[in-house]
Amino acid sequence: MAAKKHHRHQIRKKGLPPGTLIYTGHRIKAPSDVITVLYSVDHAEEQYSYPTRVVKPDADQVLWVDIRNLTDSALVEKIGQDFNVHPLALEDVLDTSQRAKLEEYDNGLFFILHAFKYQKESLDLITEQVSIFIGDKIVLSFQEDPDDTFAIIRKRIVEGMGRIRKKSADYLAYALADIIVDGYYLVLDDLETHLFDLEEQIHHEGASQTCKERIFHLKRLHNIIRTKIVPLRDALSRLYRSGNPLLDDTNTVYLRDVLDHVSQILDTLDSQREMLSGLESLFHAEAANRLNHVMRLLTVISTIFIPLSFIASVYGMNFDNMPELRTHYGYYIVLAVMGTLMIGMLSIFRWKRWI
């Protein structure tokens, strides 16, 4: 198992006024990638850059601006100013230690959730904060990593697949959240596979140090995932019941569906945590069983040597009146008796299955 690197957020905003835009994550500083998609029922236009002039969607259009890599705080600030995003929301975009939440502003809804990437080789979990701002015919998405998580959504828009081009901006925001939640199932499936492999390893190899490390590591990963998803359920529940005018009543059924998926994922997490607790108990039982086996073996050896030590100590007392000491074959007779006694005791222990 590869060594894990623990990234700690440095407190670099102490004393600064609210709304100060400073990226607090640990990603390497690099230029941000911006993809702008303007679509309607009949047409979709995709642009791989941020326009110099702000595009205002028509009544039948929706504008989606996707920003990947948040180290360019100046660009994030410009986009926020162009679309009148509240400074506190922009501050939360760049503060990547946020929990999942929903904030309502005068001109839109601001939503934060987390995406997970699981590396099977190193058994490491990478978390990414994703922020979504929903305005009037406008959706802004901010991804912490440069990976193109929403490529499949853009493909559906450009090719006219599904309902996105027929729906309003809130449905697009739902689609973005839904694809992230669907990714949780893949991560949990991989974790479940590791749990079954670990169970087989404990049954066949017993309580090894590697098993102990993997159990501890998997428990840590489950705790991280749970702390990210539990607030997401609360945020989605608030969004579903908010009744905000930006949310189309016909789309609330889709929000309810993704909320149900999050509840299912939390149930799966609880089941896997119980399985981990069972594996931990099995590990301790195997360790105790191994210790008992060693102690039993040592006890058998001690029990065998007790009478042999007694015989040897008797003939080591050197009293004058000990006729056996003057027997010509006494040494060999005593050795034969001791050997016979040892073999007899081993046979009895074997018959009783103590060894």
For residue 85, what is the domain's CATH number? 3.30.460.20
One-letter identity of residue 47 = Q
In a domain, 37, yes or no: yes
User: pLDDT value at position 15?
Assistant: 60
Q: Give the 3-state secondary structure of residue 5.
A: coil
Residue 242 and residue 137 share a domain: yes
Same domain? 210 vs 272? yes
Residues 123 and 193 in one domain: yes
Question: How is 333-346 classified by DSSP, letter by letter?
Answer: HHHHHHHHHHHHHH
173 exposure class (CB count in 10 Å sphere: 0-12, 13-18, 19+): buried
> What residues in the chain have per-residue pLDDT under 50?
1-11
pLDDT at site 90: 93
Residues 231 and 343 both lie in one domain: no
Please tell me the predicted confidence (pLDDT) of residue 25.
78
In what order do the strands lie in the sheet containing 101-105?
Answer: 44-47, 33-39, 62-68, 138-143, 124-135, 108-119, 101-105
Q: Which pLDDT score, from 0 to 100, does residue 14 have? A: 65
CA 238 to CA 319: how far, in whole Å? 95
Which tokens sit at 20?
């100060």
Q: Is residue 127 part of a domain?
A: yes
Give the containing element (helix H, strand E) for 158: helix 151-158
Same domain, 331 and 264: no
Q: What pLDDT was estimated at residue 19?
A: 66
The total of structural domains in the chain comes to: 2
Considering the domain boundaries, does residue 142 fall inside one? yes
Looking at the fold, whether 228 and 266 belong to one and the same domain comes out as: yes
321 and 259 belong to one structural domain: no
Q: Are residues 194 and 86 in the same domain?
A: yes
What is the extent of the structural domain holding 329? 315-355
Place of tokens 């309607």: 40
Domain final residue, candidates 243, 270, 286? 286
Note whether 143 and 102 are same-domain residues.
Answer: yes
Per-residue pLDDT at 78: 92
